[in-house]
């Protein structure tokens, strides 16, 4: 994978992760604060990794395809 493609993939993942974690902690932060850190981390990753992989990043890809049609590579 070229550097440009890696940077683009990093940006797409970050665009999904940051708001997802922020919303998750806003909604569930206080109830989860009663749990030990390793359990909070487990629940956070258990719920957010599938969200990011199966919904978040594909949605960002979809939006980017609409905004910037693919260029012709020869």
4-31 tens-digit pLDDT: 989 999 999 999 999 999 999 999 999 9
- Global confidence as pTM: 0.77
Could you give the count of Cα atoms lying within 13 Å of 41 in the half-sphere of its Cβ? 3
- Alpha-carbon dihedral sign for residues 8, 10, 13, 17: negative
Specify the pLDDT at position 55. Answer: 95
């Amino acid at each position: 994978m070229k550097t440009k493609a890696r940077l683009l993939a990093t940006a797409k993942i970050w665009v999904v992760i940051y708001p997802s974690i922020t919303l998750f902690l806003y909604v569930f932060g206080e109830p989860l604060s009663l749990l030990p850190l390793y359990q909070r981390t487990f629940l956070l990753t258990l719920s957010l990794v599938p969200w990011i992989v199966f919904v978040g990043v594909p949605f960002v890809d979809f939006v980017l395809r609409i905004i910037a049609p693919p260029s012709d590579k020869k």
